[in-house]
Amino acid sequence: MSGEKMKRRGRMMWGFIYAGAFMAAFVISAVVKMTADPFGGKYTVRWDSSMGTVYTDLSYGDGEANKFDLYVPADSGRENYGLVVYLHPGGFTGGDKSGDAEMLQWLCARGYVAASINYTLFGEKNPDANVYTQSVEIRESIPFVIAEAEKKGYHIDKMAVAGGSAGHALAMLYAYRDADTSPVPVKMTFGAVGPSCFYLEDWINMGADPGHPNPVDPNADYSGLAGLFSVMAGKEITADMFATGAYLEQVKDISAAMWIDENSVPTVCAYGAWDRAQAFGASRRLDSMLTQYVIPHEYIVFEHSGHGLQNDNAQYEKYMEKITEYLDTYMPTD
């Protein structure tokens, strides 16, 4: 086996280790949310044709995964509609747009055109897929989503982009990095537990006491994280790049927080303090950047939860309340 093939195999191994942890946490979260509804149906709807129509597996490109589902409200008489895109979780290696049907139905019932979008997943079948290529697919899908809504009689004049876990990371990249390419203005973003950036000091020793920073040890071997970051970015990152800071330019295209400026959109985000699937420190950096540029935002920490946000019902209700509040403020339906 050639040296390059061995390096590639090593990077894939670290990518699968990371994704396995990511997906395991998501599965636990999904079980909790499906088996218990502490809010008495407040954030779900009994979906039927009186609320809207769902069009599935619409195409936005030539790739096998380049499909989206479109939810349009039954009320088709308004002059303009807001679009809310919600991107699925799955550790960048799994998941499907159909998994967020309840969220999409809830959004549509509130009067929005809503869309869920698939993207090419990283794995043995697609070893060249990565966070950057997935984010490009999302960017390229939006004009198709809006055109399809227009074709069905729903004129889109604004949009929000959101998601969970991996989908949240991709949503933030669109909101902060790619919003200026959007066919309509991006008004806000929301989501939970998505990795917002890839600074070494945020990612070492994940799951440690969130109240203590993780100091970088100049004598430590960070080749594992170099492999992980390489898989995520789709670029070669070596451990010696951490010492010089050269790796930061390599991860910028997948680090949403690095694109925040004074023009960034209002944000609602939720994170578990004991997350072992993505770096909680990266979420603190996201909050810091939004604060620095005086961007309206809600940074909600689930003090007793991990990636699944499973142990803090009061915080989860606050998260949903803030999503509703920001939608009403920045994406009014009247």
Domains, the chain, ordered by start: 3-330 (3.40.50.1820)
The pLDDT score that the predictor gives to residue 200 is 94
**Segment 43-51 mean pLDDT:** 91
pLDDT value of residue 215: 81
The model's pTM is: 0.91
In the chain, % of residues over pLDDT 70: 86
- Mean pLDDT over 32-47 rounds to 62
The 3-state secondary structure of the chain reads CCHHHHHHHHHHHHHHHHHHHHHHHHHHHHHHHHHCCCCCCCCCCCCCCCCEEEEEEEECCCCCCCEEEEEEECCCCCCCEEEEEEECCCCCCCCCHHHHHHHHHHHHHCCCEEEEECCCCCCCCCCCCCHHHHHHHHHHHHHHHHHHHHHCCCCEEEEEEEEECHHHHHHHHHHHHCHHHCCCCEEEEEEECCCCCCCHHHHCCCCCCCCCCCCCCCCCCCHHHHHHHHHHHCCCCCCHHHHHCCHHHHHHHHCHHHHCCCCCCCEEEEEECCCCCCCHHHHHHHHHHHHHCCCCEEEEEECCCCCCCCCCHHHHHHHHHHHHHHHHHHCCCC
Residue 283 has pLDDT above 60, yes or no: yes
Span 142-185, pLDDT tens digits: 999 999 999 999 999 999 999 999 999 999 999 999 999 999 99
User: Higher-confidence residue: 208 or 242?
Assistant: 242
* pLDDT classification of 327: cutoffs 50, 70, 90: very high
